[in-house]
Amino acid sequence: MGTWGPAAWDNDSAADWFADMFEETGLADFVQRALEQDPEDSPDEIRAAAHVLVALGRTYIWPVDQLDDHLKLAIARLETIKAMYSEESPDFEHTIDDELASLRAALGAN
């Protein structure tokens, strides 16, 4: 098995483990269903799903055939939620900006 970097996912064994985990749990599909909800009705669930992508949305972890689409969907949904609530709290806006930056960086790395 090969290791190509220092991160916990930068090796063949971990990549295989993540693939098995996603297959057995259906996590990527669960996240997608949350992201497809209406931001007006489910902003908290969408943000939770987007956070899963902030944490795990990278090559060798997330299913490669879904990664870019899920990242793009999370970015679009968070932008909508940010626009809906940005006037209510500057802290909220800054937190979403950080999440968006992470998602965009992950998308750019693919």
Q: What is the pLDDT of residues 65-74, one digit of tens each?
A: 999 999 999 9
Phi first, then psi, for residue 76 (nearest 5°) are: -60, -45
In a domain, 37, yes or no: yes
Q: Domain residues for 47?
A: 12-109
In a domain, 6, yes or no: no
Residues near 37 by beta carbon (within 8 Å), at least 6 away in sequence: 45, 46
In a domain, 89, yes or no: yes
Q: Closest by alpha carbon to 37, among 76, 65, 71?
A: 76
In a domain, 1, yes or no: no
Model confidence, pTM: 0.91
Tell me the per-residue pLDDT of 37-51, one tens digit each, with 9 for 90 and over: 999 999 999 999 999
Looking at per-residue pLDDT, the higher value among 101 and 84 belongs to 101
Number of compact structural domains in the chain? 1
